Homo-oligomer: A and B are copies of this chain.
């Protein structure tokens, strides 16, 4: 019965999320029943979607329940098993949440998946070769459906989704332009991630100014846009979309803290005959094998070199998460717990 530190959602944010919304508690893991597996977590995944689930309002998923362990993806190692398919030492990906251990009912479909760490480091299964990578793949391949020579743009360009998006779009012969916060991230996007250009949105005070920068970076206009942030960035991109452009809407992090951010020129959807489509990658499990195969190949051949920001210790998770929402991370944000 190992001692298990956990982070619970203690209360819901009013406006901006803060560390006081979370509570650290210590319990013991319960004894295993038949079909269950005890997983020691190595890394927790921190992802922007978690902010939306901290609110009580209607969203695509049930809100994160109060007083329960923050939900989220983990990678780790089986330490005890009462399920024939899992043995101690197996490396696994699951949804164990913000804690040091989880007890998993391994008969539940998709609850726990064994992974091979020969060519892909374990932590990457939470990023480039995991949910964020597949998210980039679905938005690019299934919604945007790019043609060689087209121009693709993505916001939050140096995050886990953005870096995978760049590699996938370059592999399809596209020009890829990122939008990120700060000169370091923009330099990294171009030097390391393969972006053809990257725009620092922080030097632009309004959508009009950002739109001019996009015009320079996208001389042939924008054919596909992968939306992670909403607000001013979306307004600016819409003014540069080509006729028959496609926008995959994956996140609107700028509006998560309260006041909704309006879209200033919705008529551009008509004027430019755009397709704008929202999606959640967990609703499209049928494409995961194909997507993971391509992402694994890109990582294995060095064409996708994802960076990670790693916070140390379970107690660091809340501050690391709040930093992620403010864009303080550099690449995939993880928490190392063992």
Contact = CB atoms under 8 A, between A and B. Distances in A.
Interface of A: 58-60, 230, 234, 243, 249-252, 255, 260-267, 269-280, 283
Nearest to A276: B276
A249 B266 CA distance: 10
B243 A60 contact: yes
B275 A255 contact: no
A271 B59 contact: yes
A263 B267 CA distance: 9
A132 to B, nearest CB: 16
Contact of A60 (B263, B271, B278): B271
Contact of A271 (B58, B273, B274, B283): B58
A60 B276 contact: no
A266 B243 contact: no
B262 A264 contact: yes
A276 B277 contact: yes
Nearest to A262: B262
Contacts of A260: 264-267
B262 A270 contact: no
Given A243-B60, A262-B262, A255 B267 contact: yes
A143 to B, nearest CB: 9
Nearest to A277: B275
B276 A275 contact: yes
A249 B270 contact: yes
A270 B278 CA distance: 4
B273 A252 contact: no
